[in-house]
Amino acid sequence: MSAADRAAGPAVAESGTPDAAPAAPSAPSSGTSGTGPARRARTGAVGMVIGSAMSLQFGSALAALIFPRAGALGVVALRLIFSAVLMLAVCRPRVRGYSRRDWTAVAGLGLALGTMNSLFYQAIDRIPLGATVTLELLGPLIFSVVTSRRLLSLLWAGLALGGVYLLGASDFEDLNLSGCAFALAAGATWTAYIVFNARTGARFPKADGLALAMGVAAVVSAPLGVVSAGSALLDPVVLGLGAAVAVLSSGLPYTLELFALRRLPAATFAVLMSLMPVAATAAGFVVLGQNLGPLQLVAIALVVAASMGAVRTGAGARPKIER
């Protein structure tokens, strides 16, 4: 999700995990939206967003396959380091001429990214990917409900809580408490990510702030990864898979979202990103062989519906975020 649009309401980063995506201008709302070329462009943009979600979640599923070799913290470090190198090389951000408040925003975003990804990977090491993303989505969903200050938002909150209750009350044996706690904590840090992402996007041109923040996240996560995985991080197989995770979870999704945001309104984009748990469930089933029963699927559907509703309700009441 983009720096500008993730601040508008719930959606799913890296978030698997949710990362940040380069900021891009929202699609203009003109009267030509119903024309053939405009309709085709918007349909193509929808396909890009769906492709971004699938790439992100299949990247997360691939990351889970590396856990036995390098551990969750080691894989987080590899993903963020490769992503930072990729983004810094592409963006080549300017580092002079910024104020202390500008760098505070970048540091906050980098810390949020590093923490959020670490918590998310700890969660998917313990519970299925679809359940992790569903629980993580509660963070930005609650943020959207609180900031919208509309009575209808209580309906979406209740719907989401109903979905979480079904998810936890089922006899799904892999849904242990520590994994759920990590997923919920990742969702909580997502709210900090939303705030700092908006501030950074307002203070830095293009994706420069994001690239710098990714560098901060890599520096923060690297020591933990080295302590956790040690020499396993130098294994050529681990390095190759780590680079693939970075491309699938960062490079490709960011590129697709960048082009999609030029053709889609921010609200439409946010609603589509609310489908992230569905993509995560599919990736978990195909790559990791994680099966979800009917009750768990209903629970995920309830949370997705609540997220979409919260985005729609909050579209006319965007939170005021300090720049």
Cα dihedral 282, 285, 288, 291, rounded to 10, equals: 140
**CA distances for 300 relative to 86, 237, 288, 303, angstroms:** 33, 34, 18, 5
Which residue, among 21, 9, 23, 13, has the nearest Cα to 262 in the 3D structure?
A: 23
* Domain limits, the chain: 6-20+33-314
pLDDT band at 260 (very low <50, low <70, confident <90, very high): confident
246, 78 in Cβ contact below 8 A? yes
Burial of 92 (0-12, 13-18, 19+ CB in 10 A): exposed
For the segment 204-223, what is each residue's pLDDT rounded down to a tens digit?
Answer: 988 888 889 999 999 999 99
Q: What does the alpha-carbon distance between residue 55 and residue 14 come to, in Å, rounded to a whole number?
A: 10
Check residue 34 and give its pLDDT: 52
pLDDT band at 173 (very low <50, low <70, confident <90, very high): low
Q: 3-state class of 317 per DSSP?
A: coil
228, 104 in Cβ contact below 8 A? no
Q: Across the strands, what pairs with 21?
A: 2
**Beta strand spans in the chain (E):** none
Please report, as a single letter, which amino acid is at residue 286.
Answer: V
Check residue 252 and give its pLDDT: 87
Tokens of 17: 């995990």
Which residues have CB under 8 Å from 227's CB, separation 6+? 73
Q: Residues of the chain with pLDDT > 90: what percent? A: 32
Please report, as a single letter, which amino acid is at residue 154.
Answer: L
Q: 3-state class of 2 per DSSP?
A: strand
For the segment 10-36, what is each residue's pLDDT rounded down to a tens digit?
Answer: 334 444 444 444 444 444 444 444 567
Q: What does the alpha-carbon distance between residue 243 and residue 53 come to, in Å, rounded to a whole number?
A: 18
